[in-house]
Homo-oligomer: A and B are copies of this chain.
Amino acid sequence: MSAEPVAIVLLSGGLDSATTLAIARAAGYATVALSFRYGQRHAIELDAARAIADAFGVREHKIAELDLRTFGGSALTDDIEVPKDRPLDAAEVPVTYVPARNTIFLAHALALAEVRDARDIFIGVNAVDFSGYPDCRPEYIAAFERMAALATRAGVKGNPVRIHTPLIELRKTEIIRRGLELGVDYGLTRSCYDPDADGHACGHCDSCQIRLAAFAELGRTDPAPYS
């Protein structure tokens, strides 16, 4: 075992979580990546998560099984159409919102942190280009951290976990610039809500729109495959 502190990093396979992993590694953490097979319509993102975890030399990559389809209620898990080319300034919470997803993901990260004696959890939520999800806001993360301090054996003993959100105040262009500095290969990442059977991104869902606009603004070509 190295003497590096251990951090749990939520790793979806997307651009944000890959950048978050790079930031955690650069900050000197040994990392345990945590991904979920949660009934998402496309499991291609798990392949991406594996490739990214390998590229960054994580200590361990856990894939936890969930079944959020049991509950339904989202275009990401159900047969609801993913909206294409919609204006991104819409005030509504979009249909791609998965109910309580970050709470469920962070709850699992908290369990894993406890059994791995980790005091740090990293999650790539973003409140700027956050696409209207309530559980990506700073006040939500702060409330989760307060709850977590009371939830666990380590918390009770005075060692609460910290939830790190290094991207939360960054624009997408800033995230990509930071990731490129840290050696993230964005060709490995997958962000699309509605990829085709070969894993090619659609280019038109909220997630693709935000990503493509950011690469364009940086004068770069997104290296991920598009259909």
Partner-B contacts on A (CB < 8 A): 62, 64-68, 70-73, 93, 97-104, 106-108, 110-112, 114-115, 134-135, 137, 139-140, 143-144, 146-153, 155-156
Q: Say yes or no: A134 contacts B146, CB within 8 Å.
A: no
Instruction: Decide: A99 and B152 in contact? CB cutoff 8 A.
Output: yes
Q: CA A148 – CA B107 in complex, angstroms?
A: 12
Name the residue of chain B whose CB is nearest to the CB of A133: B153
**Interface CB pairs A-B, < 8 A, 12:** A64-B67, A64-B71, A66-B66, A98-B111, A99-B110, A103-B151, A104-B107, A107-B107, A134-B156, A143-B146, A143-B147, A143-B151
How many copies of this protein are present in the complex?
Answer: 2
- With a CB–CB cut-off of 8 A, which chain B residues contact A139? 150
New A-B contacts (10) at CB < 8 Å, excluding given A104-B111, A143-B151: A64-B66, A97-B153, A99-B153, A103-B107, A104-B104, A134-B151, A134-B155, A143-B146, A143-B147, A146-B146
**In the complex, what residues of B have CB within 8 A of residue A110's CB?**
99-100, 103
- Given A143-B143, A153-B134, residue A99 in contact with residue B114 (CB < 8 A): yes
